[in-house]
Amino acid sequence: MELIPLLLMAPLLIWAGWSDATRMRIPNLISGLAILLFLLCLPLLSWDEVGLRLIAALVVLIVGILTFALNLFGGGDVKLLGALTLFVPSISWALFALVFALSMLLAIGFVLLVRAAPWLKGSQWIVIRSPGTLPMGIAIALAGLAHPFVLNAIG
């Protein structure tokens, strides 16, 4: 039951990943819709779980703001990761951190592959024309999409 909200978040994560890969921007609307979706999913969660997730999202936002101030993360990435934290069951936070780390590696591989593909050289995707950057929205989206399946696989 606790994974239903995360599964409902999938279309927003796909949109965020695509937007970040193609335009290096994550629209504020995505994070706003994610928060609205979380509010609509509140009846599916216990109040204790809601409290834990709100605290975790606040911590992620504070750390995210610091990384944004150091120019390590984009603002859209910080907002999306904070919103996504609301959807991750508290019992699986450590596993989510691992899934997120692996998703970052996969995102790096994807970006390098896309940049090396000769048939994409003329593409309008900003990620291809912005060496030295990593659209973290790809990794955030991948982590959010993969987490329910990883949780299900390990039981």
pLDDT digits (tens, 9 = 90+) for 71-84: 999 999 999 999 99
Report whether pLDDT(124) > 80.
Answer: no
pLDDT mean over 133-137: 90
Task: Give the pLDDT band (50/70/90) at residue 123.
Answer: confident
Report whether pLDDT(95) > 80.
Answer: yes
Identify the burial level of 124 via C-beta atoms within 10 angstroms of its C-beta, where 0-12 means exposed, 13-18 middle and 19 or more buried: exposed
Residue with tokens 């949780």: 151
Question: What amino acid is encoded at 134 in this protein?
Answer: L
Distance CA 124, CA 48 (A): 46
Contact 131, 95 (CB under 8 A): no
Q: Which residues contact 10 (CB under 8 A, 6 or more apart)?
A: 144, 145
Domain that includes residue 19, residue range: 4-154
Distance CA 45, CA 18 (A): 29
Top-confidence residue, 154 or 79: 79
Q: Tell me how many domains the chain contains.
A: 1
- Decide: pTM greater than 0.85: yes
Task: Give the pLDDT band (50/70/90) at residue 1.
Answer: low
Task: Give the pLDDT band (50/70/90) at residue 112.
Answer: confident
pLDDT mean over 118-136: 78
